[in-house]
């Protein structure tokens, strides 16, 4: 009985490599979309990688929205990783965080900080982030017509730091570096959170 089952399994797997018996040629039903394969961030070794199929039927506006969100989350993750490194190294602000006398050095890193930071402090952090989101950090290239050159350009016509003096190749290289560092930081902060 075992021999019969083994032979059946062997022949059934071998039939996967045989041509169709009726002579009909099968064609793949899936169309590969190559609309975004030349965008910033499509780099070796992965190339264009969309495992969830988010860009299957996407237009340029939707892609720009996703790129804006990716850059924003990457920047936040880079700050989060830096915050973990600095606080784990023992570098803290001097003084106290509240009127009860809680020192900054008494607050642990990571999720443990939520237990030590007073509720009013967490409320202040949330309000500050809201002010930045709604009033200061506007992406004019995505949200509205304005001076922004690309999704994630938060200069808002005020900050430059020499960006306009770079060549187009240098700008693309620097944007690609930021995008990849943001991707790595997102994985890094996720690993730090899981480790905790």
pLDDT recorded at residue 14: 46
Q: pTM, whole model, 2 decimals?
A: 0.74
User: What was the pLDDT predicted at 184?
Assistant: 95
Question: Are 88 and 80 a contacting pair, CB within 8 Å?
Answer: no
Q: What is the pLDDT of residue 6?
A: 53
3-class state of residue 85 by DSSP? helix
Distance CA 159, CA 176 (A): 20
Contact 88, 109 (CB under 8 A): yes
Residues 6, 167: Cα–Cα separation, whole Å? 65
Q: Are 55 and 36 in contact, with CB atoms under 8 Å apart?
A: yes
pLDDT of residue 192: 94
Helices (H), ranges, the chain: 2-14, 60-88, 113-116, 119-131, 168-195
**In the structure encoding, which two tokens stand for residue 115, read together?**
């237990």
- The pLDDT value recorded for residue 16 is 45
**What average pLDDT values come out for the chain (196 residues) when binned by 10 residues?**
54 47 48 71 84 89 88 94 93 92 90 91 94 78 62 72 87 93 96 92
The structure tokens listed for 24 are: 């009909």
Measured CA to CA, the distance from residue 28 to residue 48 in angstroms comes to 20
How far is the C-alpha of 80 from the C-alpha of 188, rounded, in Å? 9
**Is the backbone peptide bond immediately before 45 cis, with ω within 30 degrees of 0?**
yes
DSSP string, 5-36: HHHHHHHHHHGGGSPPTT-PPP--SPPPP-TT
């Amino acid at each position: 009985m075992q021999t019969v089952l083994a032979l059946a399994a062997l022949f059934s797997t071998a039939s996967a490599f045989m041509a169709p018996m009726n002579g009909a040629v099968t064609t793949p039903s899936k169309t590969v979309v190559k609309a975004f394969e030349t965008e910033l961030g499509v780099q070796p070794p992965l190339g264009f990688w969309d495992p969830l199929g988010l860009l299957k039927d996407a237009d340029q506006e939707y892609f720009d929205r996703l790129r804006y969100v990716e850059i924003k989350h990457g920047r936040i993750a880079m700050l989060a990783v830096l915050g973990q490194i600095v606080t784990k190294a023992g570098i803290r602000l001097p003084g106290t965080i509240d009127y009860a006398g809680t020192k900054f050095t008494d607050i642990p890193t990571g999720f443990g900080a939520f237990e030590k930071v007073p509720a009013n402090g967490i409320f202040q952090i949330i309000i500050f982030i809201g002010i930045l989101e709604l009033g200061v950090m506007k992406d004019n290239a995505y949200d509205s017509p304005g001076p922004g050159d690309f999704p994630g350009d938060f200069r808002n016509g005020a900050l430059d730091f020499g960006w306009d003096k770079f060549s187009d190749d240098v700008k693309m290289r620097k944007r690609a570096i930021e995008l990849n560092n943001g991707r790595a930081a997102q994985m890094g902060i996720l690993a730090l959170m899981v480790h905790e």
